[in-house]
Amino acid sequence: MNQILRKNNNIAVRLFSSPTLDTVFMVEEMIKKHSGKFNRTQLWEKLPRKIMWGTYKIVLNYLEDISKIGVAKKNILVYIWNPPHARKLMKMKGIKYEK
């Protein structure tokens, strides 16, 4: 998901980098471990490995889009993924689940 800006002399400049899978897992684990304790900026400052703010925002948007995290009042990050509940939903009639 690299966005590239082309200049007149055909030199490509990368505006931000795509998050690696390790980065996504690292952010997800931090949110899971500290659910409801920190806002976006506080959690970003406490990450075990530093990443760019833009990359961090991409990871947060991704995790929110797939319903693994939610954002409460004052931008507090909350881990909301519930695998046992998801398995129950998959077994319900009328729910189509493709592996």
Contact 19, 53 (CB under 8 A): no
Contact 31, 42 (CB under 8 A): no
Give a yes or no: residue 34 inside a domain. yes
Pairing state between β 77-79 and 69-71: antiparallel
Q: What is the pLDDT of residue 62?
A: 94
Give a yes or no: residue 13 inside a domain. no
Give the rounded percent of residues in the chain with a pLDDT score beyond 70. 73
Which H helix or E strand runs over 79?
strand 77-79
Give a yes or no: residue 2 inside a domain. no
Q: Tally the domains of the chain.
A: 1
Find the domain containing 36 and state its range: 20-91
Give a yes or no: residue 3 inside a domain. no
Q: What is the pLDDT of residue 18?
A: 85
Q: In this structure, what CATH number is given to the domain that contains residue 67? A: 1.10.10
* Range in 28-32, 51-55, 75-79, 92-96 with the lowest mean pLDDT: 92-96
Give a yes or no: residue 6 inside a domain. no
Query: Which tokens belong to 34?
Result: 């500290």
Give a yes or no: residue 10 inside a domain. no
Residues 16-55 have pLDDT tens digits of 668 999 999 999 999 999 999 999 999 999 999 999 999 9
Backbone angles phi, psi at 94, to 5 degrees: 90, -10
